[in-house]
Structure 1
Amino acid sequence: MTALVEVKGLAKTFDVSAPWLNRVIERQPRRFVHAVDGVSFAIPRGTTLALVGESGCGKSTVARLLVGLYGPTRGTVEFDGIDTAATLASPGARALRKRMQMIFQDPYASLNPRWKVRAIVGEPLREHGLAMTEAELEAKVAALLAQVGMAAADMEKFPHQFSGGQRQRISIARALATEPEFLICDEPTSALDVSVQAQVLNIMKDLQRQRGLTYLFISHNLAVVRHVADSVGVMYLGRLVELAPRRTLFSAPRHPYTRMLLDAIPDIAMTGRQRTPVQGEVPNPLNPPSGCAFHPRCPHANARCSSERPELADFQGIRIACHAVTEGRL
C-alpha cells in the first residue's frame, strides 16, 4: 500500500528559558525541551496509525506538527509526496489544508460558544468556497450533521445546548466539511463517557469505510486503540520506542515500556496472569537520562542501555528501539 503520510526524522524543540534578565542575574543557561526527537513513520492510505504513551511524551506535538500548527525544528512531513512545511508557507497552503483536518481533544474548548452550529460547520465551506449561496450552505451543513448522526434542526442551536459526545460529533462534521483525505484525531474521545466514546468511535470507523479516510489517532487509552488502529506506535519522552501492527503489538509486545503499558490495563477476564504495574515516573524532559530514556525504569537495563541510545530499527517484522530486545536479553 502506498503511504499517504510519511514522517522522517521529525523533531520539535521548545525554548523554555527564563527571561534574559533573570538568566543574567541568576547565571542560568538557556533551557530547551525536546518535545519530539527524531520520529519517523508512514501511514498507508485508508489506514489508521495510533500513537500511544503517557502524558507529556510528545503525541499532541506530533499532531500539531503534521497539520502545520507548529513548524518542525528538523525533519520532514510529506503528504501525498508533498513537503507540508514548504507548501504551507506557499500559495498552495489552502489546497493542502483542505485535504487534511484535525479533530481536537476537548469538545468544550474547540467550538466557538458564540456561534450557532450552522456557522461552526459552515465556516470551512465558506472559507474554501464550497458553498456559494446560503441555501447551498444550509443543505451541506444538514448533510454533514446527518453523517454524524445529528438532525438538521441542530444547526440552529449553540454548543452549550449539547452534551460532550454531541459536541464532538459537531467537531467531526466540521472536520469533514472540506472532504479531507487525512484526519488527525488528538484524543477525540478522552473527555467523553465510555458509552459515548463507543458511539463516536463507531461513527469514525464508518466514515473511514465510506470515504477511505486515513487517520492518525492519538490516545493514551489502549482499549480505544485496540478498537480503531491498524498499526500502533508507542512513544516515550519524544521518541518512538516500538512500531508494530496492532495484532502483533497486543499479542506479543516486545519493548519493556509497551509491556508495562499493557500490564496496566485492568484484567477483566481474571486470567490470573502475572501483572507488572508501570514503575517509577517519567523523567524530567528538561534533563532526560543518558542513553535509553527508559533505562531508569527498565528491569532489563544494563550498562549499554545507560550510555548508548538505541535507534528505531527493523526487527522481526516490527520496528523497535531497545538493546535488550535486539541482543536477545528479553
Structure 2
Amino acid sequence: MSAPLVQARDLAKTFDVSPPWLNRVLEGKPRLLLNAVDGVSFEIEKGKTLALVGESGCGKSTVARLLVGLYEPTRGDLVFDGADAHAVFKTSQGKDLRRRIQMIFQDPYASLNPRWTVEDIVGEPLQEHGLISDAGERKARVGELLKSVGLAAQDMTKFPHQFSGGQRQRISIARALATEPEFLVCDEPTSALDVSVQAQVLNIMKDLQRQRGLTYLFISHNLAVVRHVSDQVGVMYLGRIVELADKHALFGNPRHPYTRMLLDAIPKMHDTGRARTPVQGEVPNPLNPPGGCTFNPRCPHANERCRTERPKLLEIAGVRVACHAVEEGRI
C-alpha cells in the first residue's frame, strides 16, 4: 500500500490569551494558555475524505488552519506527500506546496472581497502562482472554473453582493480549484447555507472529487452531512481526537461515550416513538480543562482512573478510541 497523502503526527497548537503584562503584574495574575489542539494524529489516503466532527470550540478550525500553514504548530508535524509541510512552507518551495493545498472557508460572505469582481477573485490564484500570465487565457480559465461549479462564465463580471450564499460558496470552491490542488481543507463549507443549497454544494464537491481525484479534510458539526461525504470520521473533544473510525463502523457501532451521545441527539426517521436524548452537560472551560479524561464530568461510565489518567488513542477492534471504559471492556 502507498503511504497516505496527508499525515498529522501529534499536532498541537497553544495560544497565549493572557492579559497584558502590566495587568498581570498589578493584579498578580498568571499567564493563561489555551491548548486549542492537543496532540491530534490522523492519516488521509489520496482521493479519500476524512471528516472531523465535534461541538463548537473543540479545535476543528484550528486543525484546518494548521494543515494549510496559516498557523504554525506548537508541537508535532504535518507530512504531506512524504515531506514535512511546515518546514517546506518556510523555504522557496513553500509556494509550490501552497498551490497543492487549498482551503474553502466557512463564511462565504466574509471570504470574498466585496470590491472585486468574480473574475478578479477566481483569477487571483492563477496570477499569484504564475500559472497563467495572459489576460485572455486567464479570463477563459476563470470561465471554465465557474462552469465546473455550476455557474455561468458570464458571472465573472459580477460582484459578490449579486449572488446568494450558495452561489458565493461555489465561487469560493472555484477559487480553491484554480491552482489544481490535490488536497482541499473544507472548514464547515455548508454551515452558513440553507439545507437545499447545502445538498447542491456537497454534490458538486463529491463530483469534483471523483473527476479530479481530490483528497478532502471536511470539518463539520452536522453528522448528517458527514455521513454523506466522508470515508473516515474523527470525533474531536476539547482539542483531542477521541474516536477515529471508518464511517460505517462509527455510525453503526460508536464506541466512545461522547460519540454515542452525539449520535443519540440526532432525530431518527424510524424511531418516531422514542424520545431524543439531548447531549448532556456542557463543554468545560478550555482554559481550565478537567484532569484525566477531559470528558469525565459528562461521562456516565467515568471512574477514578478516568478522573486521573489521560487515555491514549488506542486501536481496539479496528477502531481508534481514547477511552478507559472501552479499553477495560466496561462498555
What TM-score, normalized by structure 1, do the two folds share? 0.99
Following superposition of structure 1 onto structure 2, how do residues 281-296 of structure 1 map, counting pairs within 5 Å?
A: 281-296=282-297
Deviations 1:246-300 (Å, cap 9, x if unpaired)?
Answer: 0000010000000000011112223545643211100000000000000000001
Secondary structure in 1 aligned to 2:79?
Answer: strand
Counterpart of 1:300 in 2: which secondary structure? Answer: coil
User: Which residue does the alignment assign to 2:305?
Assistant: 304
Q: Secondary structure of the residue that 1:8 maps to in structure 2?
A: strand
CA distance in 2, matches of 1:298, 1:215: 31
- Inter-partner Cα distance in structure 1 for 2:257 and 2:246: 17
Partner of 2:261: 260
- Structure 2, unaligned runs of 5 or more: none
**2:170 aligned residue:** 169
Report the count of equivalent residues.
330
| Matching of residues 1-330 of structure 1 within 5 Å | 1=1, 2-273=3-274, 275-330=276-331
Q: Distance in 1 between matches of 2:195 and 2:137?
A: 36
Distance in 1 (CA, whole Å) between partners of 2:254 and 2:241 is: 14
Aligned equivalents of 2:271 and 2:195: distance in 1? 21
Alpha-carbon distance, 1:225 to partner: 0.1
Aligned identity (percent) is: 74
Shift of 1:147: 0.2
Distance in 2, Cα, partners of 1:311 & 1:17:
29
Structure 2: how far apart are the matches of 1:270 and 1:200? 29
Task: String of CA shifts for 1:131-152, please: whole Å, max 9, x gaps.
Answer: 1211100110000000000000
In structure 1, what is the Cα distance between the partners aligned to 2:273 and 2:66?
42
Letter of the structure 2 residue corresponding to residue 53 of structure 1: G
For 2:214 and 2:38, the matched residues in 1 are separated by 28
Q: How many angstroms apart in 2 are the aligned matches of 1:199 and 1:143?
A: 19
Q: Give the conservation status (yes or no) of the 8 Å contact 2:267–2:276.
A: no
Distance in 1 between the 2:307 and 2:200 partners? 44
The one-letter amino acid of 2:15's match is F
The one-character-per-residue Cα deviations of 1:22-74 (angstroms, maximum 9, x if unpaired) are: 00111000010000000000000000000000000000000000000000001
Equivalent AA in structure 2 for residue 210 of structure 1: Q
The superposition leaves residues 65-102 of structure 1 with CA deviations (integer Å, 9 ceiling, x where unpaired) of 00000000010001001111110011011100010100
Q: Structure 1: which amino acid aligns with 2:80?
A: F
Q: Is the 8 A contact 2:11 2:40 kept in 1?
A: yes
SS at match of 1:72: coil
Deviation string 1:200-235 (CA, Å, 9 cap, x unpaired) is 000000000000000000000000000000000000
Q: What is the distance in 1 between the residues matched to 2:169 and 2:14?
A: 31
- Structure 1: distance between partners of 2:213 and 2:319: 25
SS at match of 1:51: strand
Cα distance 1:142–1:196, how it changes in 2: closer, same or farther (>3 A)? same
Deviation at 1:302, TM superposition (A): 0.5
Structure 2 CA distance for aligned equivalents of residues 75 and 184 of structure 1: 19
In structure 2, C-alpha distance between the alignment counterparts of 1:276 and 1:191, rounded to whole Å: 26
Secondary structure at the residue paired with 2:281?
A: coil
Q: Provide the alpha-carbon RMSD of the alignment.
A: 0.8
**TM-score, normalised to structure 2's length?**
0.98
Q: CA offsets, 1:100-144, max 9 Å, x none?
A: 100000000000000000000000000111112111001100000
Unmatched runs of 5 consecutive residues or more in structure 1:
none
SS at match of 2:244: strand
Q: For 1:292-320, what per-residue CA distance to the aligned partner results, in whole angstroms no more than 9, with x for missing partners?
A: 00000000100100000101011100100
Report the residue type matching 1:322 in the other structure: C
